[in-house]
Structure 1
């Protein structure tokens, strides 16, 4: 296996790209003080080695809610009766396949899963809950928390304090 050690330039590139992946290569190169061809090579290497999984657009929840309906965000704890790997895997597969589930986390201790669910409204959430929870005999307990305000939302990792690490590629 080949080892790829992140250096301070790589960390600066990752930090800048996680904040704004639409930045041009020239602007990114200027920000981290390297030439544009070097910057392009490094970003390509970071992507090919799996440090960058994908680039996405983060949509405005307020504008979507105003345009498509009120919008309802729920954080949902799910506990299963049987926790064998086949049971956990089956529930996880159903949850991640559902479009309304934005995030699915296996957690411990406590519930088996925490889901972040985005619904149009309460009737839509009810339909989602019937599909994911009510129809599954292995679901023991569901506890939903409905968001009243989003105080912070970010996808960034704090990289400025980190020292370079070694990883296999």
Structure 2
């Protein structure tokens, strides 16, 4: 794969980002060893990468099934709302729905794609009722049967 190196990032920055995105629980000392820098220099680079927005946040990725969220769905929605202020209200409402893991504004046949986690069919039904009250004109729901690949890592290989 071709190297992705920005004018602002050098090879060590890219290597640090790649290490962190694959497991942010790795110690600063271990990262320092891998990239062949002192721990203070490594820590300074990580802080700079955070301050410059390359690292948005560090989180734990939870096991949905173990926590009882057995129903993962992708929901395509369309709306007949065309005024910017009303679209802002809709998007703000979507942002506030805890069931929605991801929401993307789309081109094409549908306006938005939602990735939604529900505990069961009943909670999905209740979620769909909430959507129907928001000016949604068209909904297509696809249930996830099994994951083939699920990753948060960008392809930063050098």
The question of a shared fold, defined as TM-score above 0.5 by the shorter chain, is answered with yes
Paired with 2:112 and 2:82, the residues of 1 have a C-alpha distance of 11
Paired with 2:61 and 2:103, the residues of 1 have a C-alpha distance of 18
Cα deviation code 1:99-125 (max 9, x no counterpart): 100001001122110000000101101
- SS for the counterpart of 2:19 is helix
Paired with 1:82 and 1:99, the residues of 2 have a C-alpha distance of 23
Q: Are positions 1:11 and 2:22 aligned together?
A: no
1:60 Cα deviation (Å)? 1.5
Q: Are positions 1:30 and 2:54 aligned together?
A: no
Q: What is the TM-score with the length of structure 1 in the denominator?
A: 0.85
Which structure 2 segments of 5+ residues have no match? 1-6
CA RMSD of aligned residues (A): 1.3
Residue number in structure 2 paired with 1:99: 98
Paired with 1:88 and 1:150, the residues of 2 have a C-alpha distance of 32
| Paired positions, count | 152
Residue number in structure 2 paired with 1:156: 153
Matches within 5 A, 1:62-141: 62-64=65-67, 68=68, 71-131=70-130, 133-136=131-134, 138-141=135-138
Paired with 2:60 and 2:148, the residues of 1 have a C-alpha distance of 20
- SS for the counterpart of 1:50 is coil
Cα deviation code 1:93-152 (max 9, x no counterpart): 111101100001001122110000000101101111111x2112x211000000000111
Paired with 2:149 and 2:86, the residues of 1 have a C-alpha distance of 33
Range that drifts further, 35-44 or 76-85: 76-85
Paired with 2:90 and 2:70, the residues of 1 have a C-alpha distance of 25
Paired with 1:151 and 1:62, the residues of 2 have a C-alpha distance of 15
- SS for the counterpart of 1:104 is strand
